[in-house]
Chains A and B, each alone.
Chain A
Amino acid sequence: MKEYRTISKIAGPLVFVEKTEPIGYGELVNIVTFDGTIKRGQVLDTSDNLVVVQVFETTAGIGRDSGVRFTGETIKMPVGKEMLGRILSGGGKPIDGGPEIVPEKRLDITGAAINPYARASPNEFIQTGISTIDGTNTLVRGQKLPIFSAAGLPHNNIALQIARQSKVIGSTEPFAVVFAAMGITKEEANHFMKDFERTGALERAVVFLNLADDPAVERIITPRLALTTAEYLAFELGMHVLVILTDMTNYCEALRQIGAAREEVPGRRGYPGYMYTDLASIYERAGIIKGLKGSVTQIPILTMPGDDITHPIPDLTGYITEGQIVVSRELHRKGIYPPINVLPSLSRLMNLGIGKGHTREDHKKVSDQMYAGYAEGNDLRGLVAIVGKDALSERDRMLLEFADLFEQRFVKQGYDEDRTIVDTLDLGWDLLSTLPVEQLTRIDRDLINKYHPKFKAGATKE
């Protein structure tokens, strides 16, 4: 392989190489520094007289004397069944002391778009054991449902709890977790690893770790490596794969860093104008394909800078993903775990995965009724602050009470508490039964007679 020593400029993560033979766009590049270290990069721009290479590691050590080798192929990920149980770096190298991965296949990490015509409609209910997800923002197989959190909130625990407890009722099909960490601290990473080990989840997991002190640019490829692995496990080995990507905010920061180094025209808040397309190329790699067994379900986690949901990162994410789970600082301060605020949360695919044949016939109506009750009760809190509780009508006081109960009993649950969907829905009925039955306008009479604690056959509960 030809080695060029024609580096003309190095700016941030970008290396400019002159006078090369024709080089392909997107090619993988190895740069050899004076001490023999090999650094990997990718061609971002190629022309007959100049090639721009984006290096995935620190450019420290790269100089005019470094050799540049173009490999002639795009970045590929070696994948194989034995990846399960392994811990890899953010660049895909084993870091658990184990042997190199023996590849069964080498796959392009960019991943092609799934033809919309080949997709199957996701409709299999995943029980996470968390009431606010199962009951009111249901996750289904093949969905991409991000967690919108913020600094200092327990999003990692929520993600772990989901990873640990997720199951499809009555299904014995093989299940795997692909975990990709981007720019999280060693401490956070340890927290994840310990929990994976404690629960034995590691055996069926593939872990990619790009830590806070690892090169930021590497974060650009980490999620792509993870998703390539996930697609292999899902669509070639027929497994149901849950992909956890944390923290997407760090990914976007890296994207901005490269954009700035390339002197691109920035979009909102300095993030590149193509960030929507770039994020879509990650998030859209979830789904189910007609006629194939497996599925890829994604739970990306992002921390909203300044708790601001209109910040470009959560905003663009929300436009691509099928809903969002919003973690609230207010609930967290009240000591409620998991502090999921259901009001701004949403699962767009919920209706496909619930109801008769999936969960239970009353699911949608119970969920809607609780939403309506909690939303109204929550609004009244503002009013109480101004006019006092005494100025409220009887109905309003009940709704206010309902909002409190909803948070304390429905939202709040233990870190290891795994509620079945039946438990969750029954709990919902318990709470709704504190309201006068005429208030339950969103539920039909038949369902009330069948499930309402005060009416259902043989029930003597208060």
Chain B
Amino acid sequence: MEVKEKDSKIDKLGVLKRISGPVVTAVNFDAHMYDVVKVGNEALMGEVIKIQGEETIIQVYEDTSGIRPGEPVVNTGLSLAVELGPGLLTNIYDGIQRPLSVLVDKMGNFIERGVSAPGLPHDKKWEFKPLVKEGDKVIGGSIIGEVQETNIVHKVMVPPNQKGGTVKSIKSGSFTVDDVVCVLEDGTSLTMMQRWPVRVPRPVKEKLNPEIPLITGQRILDGLFPIAKGGTAAIPGPFGSGKTVTQQQLAKWSDAEIVVYIGCGERGNEMTEVLTEFPELVDPKTGKPLMERTVLIANTSNMPVAAREASVYTGITIAEYYRDMGYDVSLMADSTSRWAEAMREISSRLEEMPGEEGYPAYLAARLSEFYERAGLVITLAGGNGSVSVIGAVSPPGGDFSEPVTQNTLRIVKVFWALDAKLSQRRHFPAINWLNSYSLYLDTLHDWYDREVSPEWNTLRSWAMEVLQKEAELQEIVQLVGSDALPETEQITIEVARMIREIFLQQNAYDAVDTFCDMKKQYDIMKSIKLFADLSATAQAAGVTPSQIIGSKAKNELPQIKFIKDYKPELEKIAKEMDAEFTTLRAAA
């Protein structure tokens, strides 16, 4: 047997006793929890998830068909770890960091089993530029050099679990990730690559409270329900309500420096869409293809379920690694429900006592551990970095009371509630403005004051009030028709309609409207407020609601969204509105 020859230590070799789908049991086997093992004659990759008496229970990341009791199991003695170093960006991985492009070369168009592939290209040479010199003191996490990875500069660091020391020698030039680039006084040699176990959070010096918003260019998000850099958000919604489009918009336009996108148990064709689209899209900040700052992880719904469980950890570890370099990273996980289901599936094969709806009792703990790995931090090297986590949730039947949504909401600070009714009316993004919330509003208050306008926070509260009022009025309209409303309220309804159709609705497929910066958001909202103010004064002067609602100048406002250089047009509309209302007031 090939496996035996690889490893002669007998205590690391066990025998398979039972195979039940992705869960297998081995005996005569020394192992620690979460050790990576090679299962069967084909050496399928697996991970120890339970130890019970003589038995060691292993989840296998590949299909186990044909594996028999009596076949060998070999312990690698390592935990499930990812390779971190230059070459991560622009790559697309499966749940256990095997590059999918390499898998196509090795096993063709379909995912077969028993093939391993390293996460990083080991033959590629990178131009290493040292940033420390001989005699310098370094500690775990210190940056010792840099590599131009794409348009992103990759910082090479001392692995955070090493104590560091004095630099004895450091090289400069072209190296592979396996070449030693730096040697410390105590003999430790450092390469450009480090391995890190995915289930262990990478250490930081200190966690800070986030105070800067992650600008996404999506009006309803930035304007009404912002997420902070280093914050956490959840997007729950039934199928067809636009979760994936929203996640992809965030991956495209959020002003993070690095984006990690995890397609966890989702559709294959959707990942293909991301793969074909991203290289063609241009980052509005750098002018470079968006792909250059992106790492994709695609473990589609029909790929092995245990690898799906691991995919989320693989993703967050990569995100933390770039955070440690001092970057702002945003991580999208689509969808965390599929991750939870993978946990449920494994748990039920272990015959564990189920919690709510068959999910394991540790569901809440796992979710909170995952989201807690987000944050704005001071890195070990002393810089600032952040990981923002945005998780999609797919509640069965769109029912938010189910365990995954509920446990997620207890942890995350921002809730973007998708609404199937809105998407049926083709109101996109279909985020319900009444149910959604952001707990970062207070901490981000100062930033908006400073960077957008001192008026912004008031403007935002005003818009929310109008929308809230509209919801109450709509109930009356449903019963008695809109003509029966008092005059002032008829104006409120009109203003709310404008906020909804002009500000909240945004076309992801329009070249201009797909991204809207904060200044423009402010200008649009201010114009709507201008209309509301003009209406109020006009009404006080005796102008009728139908005259106000019938005024023409405001009808041009929606066009602003689609104009790149919108300022002149917006000023023109404002002037026309003003003039039109002056005439109306004079006539009244």
CB distance from B329 to the nearest CB of A (A): 23
CB distance from B428 to the nearest CB of A (A): 10
CB distance from A228 to the nearest CB of B (A): 12
Check A143 for interface membership: any CB of B closer than 8 A: yes
Interface pair B301/A277, CB less than 8 Å apart: yes
Q: Which residues of A contact B109 (CB under 8 A)?
A: 114-115, 118, 235, 289-290, 292
Check A391 for interface membership: any CB of B closer than 8 A: yes
Check A274 for interface membership: any CB of B closer than 8 A: yes
Interface pair A371/B426, CB less than 8 Å apart: yes
Contact of A116 with B396 at beta-carbon distance under 8 Å, contacts A110-B63, A276-B341 already known = no
Tally chain A residues at the interface, Cβ within 8 Å: 76
Interface pair A285/B394, CB less than 8 Å apart: no
Check B232 for interface membership: any CB of A closer than 8 A: no
Check A166 for interface membership: any CB of B closer than 8 A: no
Check B451 for interface membership: any CB of A closer than 8 A: no
The interface stretch among A214-222, A320-328, A449-457 is A320-328
Contact of A284 with B300 at beta-carbon distance under 8 Å, contacts A276-B341, A320-B267, A386-B479 already known = yes
Interface pair A118/B104, CB less than 8 Å apart: yes
Contact of A265 with B305 at beta-carbon distance under 8 Å, contacts A284-B300, A310-B396, A319-B394 already known = no
B382-413 contacts to A (CB < 8 Å): 394, 396-399
Bound CA–CA A440/B110 (angstroms): 47
CB distance from B99 to the nearest CB of A (A): 8
Check B345 for interface membership: any CB of A closer than 8 A: yes
Check B472 for interface membership: any CB of A closer than 8 A: no
Binary contact readout B57-78 vs A (1 if CB under 8 angstroms, 0 otherwise) = 0000001111111110000000
Residue of B nearest to A73 (CB): B66
Check A422 for interface membership: any CB of B closer than 8 A: no
Bound CA–CA A173/B507 (angstroms): 37
Binary contact readout A32-63 vs B (1 if CB under 8 angstroms, 0 otherwise) = 00000000000011111000000000000000
CB distance from B311 to the nearest CB of A (A): 12
Check B92 for interface membership: any CB of A closer than 8 A: yes
Q: Which residues of B contact A120 (CB under 8 A)?
A: 272
Interface pair B65/A25, CB less than 8 Å apart: yes
Binary contact readout B485-526 vs A (1 if CB under 8 angstroms, 0 otherwise) = 000000000000000000000000100000000000000000
Interface pair B267/A284, CB less than 8 Å apart: yes
Interface pair A25/B20, CB less than 8 Å apart: yes
Bin the interface of chain B by size.
35 or more
Interface pair B239/A116, CB less than 8 Å apart: no
Contact of B240 among A26, A112, A290, A323 (CB under 8 A): A323
Interface pair B268/A343, CB less than 8 Å apart: no
Bound CA–CA A81/B360 (angstroms): 47
Residue of A nearest to B301 (CB): A280
Check A333 for interface membership: any CB of B closer than 8 A: no
Check B12 for interface membership: any CB of A closer than 8 A: no
Interface pair A121/B341, CB less than 8 Å apart: no
Interface pair A119/B17, CB less than 8 Å apart: no
A-B pair count, CB < 8 Å, reads 201
A265-324 contacts to B (CB < 8 Å): 265-268, 273-274, 276-277, 280-281, 284-285, 287, 289-290, 292, 309-312, 315-316, 318-320, 322-324
A116, A143, A387, A391: residue with the most chain B Cβ atoms closer than 10 Å: A116
B70, B269, B301, B426: residue with the most chain A Cβ atoms closer than 10 Å: B269
Interface pair A46/B19, CB less than 8 Å apart: yes
Bound CA–CA A246/B392 (angstroms): 31
Binary contact readout B345-372 vs A (1 if CB under 8 angstroms, 0 otherwise) = 1001000001001100000000000000
B291-327 contacts to A (CB < 8 Å): 298, 300-303, 305
Interface set of A (CB-CB < 8 Å, partner B): 22-27, 44-48, 73-74, 108, 110-122, 142-143, 235, 264-268, 273-274, 276-277, 280-281, 284-285, 287, 289-290, 292, 309-312, 315-316, 318-320, 322-324, 343-344, 346, 348-349, 351-352, 368, 371-372, 375-376, 383, 386-387, 391, 441
Interface set of B (CB-CB < 8 Å, partner A): 17-21, 25, 63-71, 92, 100-101, 103-104, 108-112, 238-240, 263, 265, 267-273, 275-276, 298, 300-303, 305, 338, 341-342, 344-345, 348, 354, 357-358, 394, 396-399, 420, 424-426, 478-481, 483, 509, 558
Told that A277-B345, A284-B268, A290-B109 touch, could you supply 7 new A-B pairs with CB distance under 8 A?
Answer: A108-B65, A119-B272, A310-B397, A311-B397, A323-B240, A344-B424, A375-B425
The 30 listed contacts between A and B (C-beta, < 8 Å) are A25-B64, A45-B20, A47-B17, A48-B18, A112-B111, A113-B303, A115-B104, A116-B263, A117-B104, A117-B275, A265-B358, A267-B344, A267-B357, A273-B345, A274-B341, A274-B345, A276-B341, A277-B302, A280-B265, A280-B302, A284-B300, A287-B269, A310-B399, A311-B397, A319-B394, A320-B301, A322-B270, A348-B270, A386-B479, A387-B480
